[in-house]
């Protein structure tokens, strides 16, 4: 029998000293009266419900392979993300089906990937056609919600689509949302210029989330009413925010967090440039982007216009804490416990989950030491 390895740490959710009993995985946690000289923290594995790609791997490129997805999962594990939703955006029906099928087959073939993929997030094609709200999505493929088409997507995905972002401004949105909710798919409002009445109908039909609130809206909006105020005022909507320091100002994030309390959570909205070295890159959809040393990703020659996100969920957590927007406990919950509860895996609030856990230090920045997935050691520095 192997001798147990004990790690003294601080539970980052509540500040309690704990002893982690680990061999190759975590088997138990118990309260402790002290910690070691090097202060270690332990928290639940991070849960990212919106990942478009990482480390040179694009989930929306039809050349995507199973090995690519497995490598992406391993990279995310090294960043403390133990569960993620590969996010497929607006594209042709055929390309969406191909990408969904690739993810499904890869999850079936690679056990680790299957454990890490909590579901697929379909962001489009049922979004707004309007400039500003549509964002970088190709207008050519945007269309009204179509339940028969969605069932085709779901079949290709092996029923792994667990979340969909759409705009409720289409006439048949409420009926579609109701059908999605009945099939246990989370519905999130995003890339939208819906009216207050349309948002209300969407919420009444079962929409429960707002995708990266404050983004994917025109630069100029009416003072009130507008798409942001209306979603903040809906008690049943849980908004996600991108806290990379570029997509939203600190003041806006503070307002969202105060208005929504425990129902606000983090997403990275990471692209393939996350984890890559600074430089200028060509994209497969055309055009060049510039990744700066500070993580800002913008269109080359585009007057600083953002070209997506290039920071991990872990870096989002670190940003909130170092900029004093949130405490470590609050920020970590926003990146783990809250999104985890939204995808209905029934983790108890404010309690470390032994199956998925991250051990880290935090001085100037968060530094991962060990990551456990399903109780097994998945990454170690």
Q: Is residue 83 part of a domain?
A: yes
- What is the pLDDT at residue 351? 46
- Give domain status of residue 203, yes or no: yes
CATH number, domain containing residue 269: 3.20.20.140
Residue 16 lies in a domain: no
- Report the half-sphere exposure of 345 (CA within 13 A, side-chain side): 21
Residue-averaged pLDDT of the chain: 91
Q: For residue 147, is pLDDT > 50?
A: yes
* CA dist list (Å): 355 to 26, 82, 155, 341: 7, 10, 30, 15
Share of the chain above pLDDT 70, in %: 90
The predicted structure's pLDDT at residue 364: 87
Looking at residue 279, its pLDDT comes to: 95
Q: Say if residue 369's pLDDT is above 80.
A: yes
pLDDT per residue as tens digits for the range 98-143:
999 999 999 999 999 999 999 999 999 999 999 989 988 999 999 9
* Predicted model pTM: 0.94
Determine, yes or no, domain membership for 143: yes
Lowest mean pLDDT among 45-54, 141-150, 347-356: 347-356
pLDDT value at residue 21: 76
Q: How many domains does the chain have?
A: 1
pLDDT tens-place string over residues 81-100: 999 999 999 999 999 999 99
Range of the domain at 333: 45-274+309-350
Q: Is residue 55 part of a domain?
A: yes
SS3 306: strand
The pLDDT of 37-53, averaged and rounded, is 92
Classify residue 155: in a domain, yes or no. Answer: yes
Residue 306 confidence (pLDDT) above 90: no
Is the pLDDT at 352 greater than 50? The verdict is no
Look at residue 2 and tell me whether its pLDDT is greater than 60: no
Is 279 part of any domain?
no
Is 38 domain-assigned? no
Check pLDDT > 80 for residue 34: no
DSSP string, 68-135: HHHHHHHHHHHTTEEEEEEEEES--HHHHHHHHHHHHHHHHH-HHHHHHB--EEEE-SSS--STTTST
Q: How many CB atoms lie under 10 A from the CB of residue 260?
A: 20
pLDDT digits (tens, 9 = 90+) for 251-301: 999 999 999 999 999 999 999 999 999 999 988 665 789 999 999 998 887
pLDDT per residue over 231-254, tens digit each? 999 999 999 999 999 999 999 999
Kindly indicate the confidence band of residue 24, based on its pLDDT and cuts at 50, 70 and 90: low
């Amino acid at each position: 029998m192997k001798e147990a390895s004990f790690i003294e740490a601080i539970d980052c959710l509540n500040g309690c000293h704990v002893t982690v009993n680990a061999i190759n995985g975590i088997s138990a946690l118990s309260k402790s009266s002290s910690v070691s000289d090097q202060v270690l923290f332990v928290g639940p594995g991070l849960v990212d419900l919106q990942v478009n790609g990482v480390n040179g791997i694009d989930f929306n490129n039809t050349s995507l392979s199973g090995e690519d997805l497995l490598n992406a999962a391993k990279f995310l594990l090294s960043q403390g993300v133990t569960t993620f939703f590969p996010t497929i955006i607006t594209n042709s029906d055929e390309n969406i089906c191909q990408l969904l099928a690739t993810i499904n087959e890869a999850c079936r073939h690679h056990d680790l990937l299957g454990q890490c993929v909590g579901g697929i997030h379909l962001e489009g094609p049922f979004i707004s056609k309007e400039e500003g709200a549509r964002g970088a999505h190709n207008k050519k493929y945007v269309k009204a919600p179509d339940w028969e088409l969605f069932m085709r997507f779901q079949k290709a995905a092996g029923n792994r689509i667990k979340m969909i972002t759409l705009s409720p401004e289409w006439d048949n949105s409420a009926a579609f949302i109701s059908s999605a909710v009945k099939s246990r798919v989370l519905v999130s409002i995003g890339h939208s210029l819906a009216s207050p009445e349309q948002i209300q109908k969407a919420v009444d039909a079962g929409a429960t989330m707002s995708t990266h609130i404050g983004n994917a809206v025109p630069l100029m909006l009416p003072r009130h009413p507008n798409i942001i105020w209306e979603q903040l005022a809906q008690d049943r909507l849980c908004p996600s925010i991108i806290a990379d320091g570029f997509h939203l100002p600190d003041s806006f994030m503070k307002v969202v967090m105060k208005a929504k309390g425990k129902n606000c959570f983090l997403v990275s909205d990471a692209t393939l440039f996350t984890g890559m070295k600074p430089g200028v890159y060509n994209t497969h959809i055309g055009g060049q982007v510039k990744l700066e040393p500070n993580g800002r990703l913008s269109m080359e020659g585009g007057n600083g216009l953002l070209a997506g996100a290039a920071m991990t969920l872990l870096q989002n957590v670190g940003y909130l804490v170092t900029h004093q927007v949130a405490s470590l406990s609050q920020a970590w919950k926003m990146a783990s416990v809250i999104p985890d509860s939204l995808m209905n895996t029934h983790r108890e609030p404010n309690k470390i989950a032994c199956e998925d856990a991250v051990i880290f230090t935090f001085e100037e920045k968060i530094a991962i030491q060990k990551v456990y997935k399903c109780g097994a050691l998945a990454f170690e520095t």
